[in-house]
Amino acid sequence: MRNPFDPPVEPMSSQQATPAQKERQAQASWKKTSTFFIFLACAVYLLLMYGPKIAPQKDLTLGGSEGIIQDGVYYVYGGSGFSTTNQSKTPIGLCAYVPGQEPEVLVSSKDYSLDVVFPSWDVNSHGLYFVDLNTETLYRMDLETQEISNLYSLPEAPKGTNPYIFPNGLWEDRIALICHDGVDTYHLVLDCRTGEVLSRKEDNEPGTRWNLVAGDRILVHNLTDDDSDLLENGVSVLPQGHKLYTEDTRAIGDAILMASYPADAATMECTYRLFLPDGRNLDLPKDTEDTYYRFLAVSGQWLFYTSHAKDPTPNVTKFYTELRAMDVNTQESYLVSTEYDPYFAVTDGNWFYSYGDYTNCYQLEYNDQGIPCGLTLIEKDI
């Protein structure tokens, strides 16, 4: 055995080493290399299995705009609204989303200039309708063939004017438009398949009239320089002494929600009324100091809304939120969930989309009596 205090032995050169020694050196080098790669492979495996999960980047994200559900497909202008993680900051265009599948771009914003501030598109069972701001032209995409055709174009406007054309109501057989050609403002009704002009009415009164549609029922939102009103068959539907609260007055699926407040009130205490397609008008619950409501969407017999009730504990300002469904026939209310608090939503009675900063897709659950009783999350941050 070698004495450890002896001078170190100089390593042999490759010329001095015997063949057996060379073989042992090669085996030792191979073992070191093999051990290194084995440890490296184990480290990679452990990192993949137990390390931090990195969310895959989506090819396309829709953002948080309001969409329309038609025959189970969710149509929406993608890329607008506020961006969050993995969401696009630039407009994408009109997209179609089928729950559980990747969204599809139908009309690209690279090909057409689409307005994201004012209503510039709509959809029914057979067509997608949109306006190109560059040409002031209304187009129709056939949903079956995806062929795009020109339905109506504004005449060339005088220089220095601001022409516009916007959809102002859509049915299965016709589409209403509000048009300004730089000189005149008028309302058109077209055959929504052929573009044939069915009627034209000049808008000689000051202000702008927007249609709110629930089936064949039309309420006209009339905006003037002085005030605004909501009309049905030319008659105001506002309660006497009330003003229209325009921010909350809108179509919500199969119905129209109207919000108003007393003109002489010191504070804006809104009264809500629901206009149903069958001609009925329902007074909705009023906010109180302890409870306030947010009315979301109507589909069939169900009004979906959130109820926010204050914690009764003294000096506590916490509110408890419930997502509820009201039967518009009986006005009975049922609890759907305490887990979700959507600020805006659309539903067709099966799929339920909440939107705002982002969009989530849920499926509604029903009990044996056909009453909504829950939500199942299908996809988050679409």
d(CA 52, CA 283): 52
Looking at residue 79, its pLDDT comes to 76
CB 63 within 8 A of CB 45: no
Looking at residue 224, its pLDDT comes to 78
Divide the 382 residues of the chain into consecutive groups of 10 and give the mean pLDDT of each group. 38 44 47 49 49 47 89 89 49 92 93 84 97 95 97 91 93 95 92 97 79 93 84 93 92 96 83 96 91 95 95 77 96 95 95 92 97 96 89
Looking at residue 43, its pLDDT comes to 52
Looking at residue 22, its pLDDT comes to 44
Looking at residue 316, its pLDDT comes to 66
pTM for the full model?
Answer: 0.79
Q: Whose structure tokens read 């409501």?
A: 293
d(CA 300, CA 311): 33
d(CA 45, CA 41): 6
Looking at residue 268, its pLDDT comes to 75
Task: State residue 369 phi and psi, 5-degree precision.
Answer: -90, 5
| Planar angle of CA 332, 293, 316, nearest 5 degrees | 115
d(CA 344, CA 317): 23
Looking at residue 315, its pLDDT comes to 72
Looking at residue 15, its pLDDT comes to 45
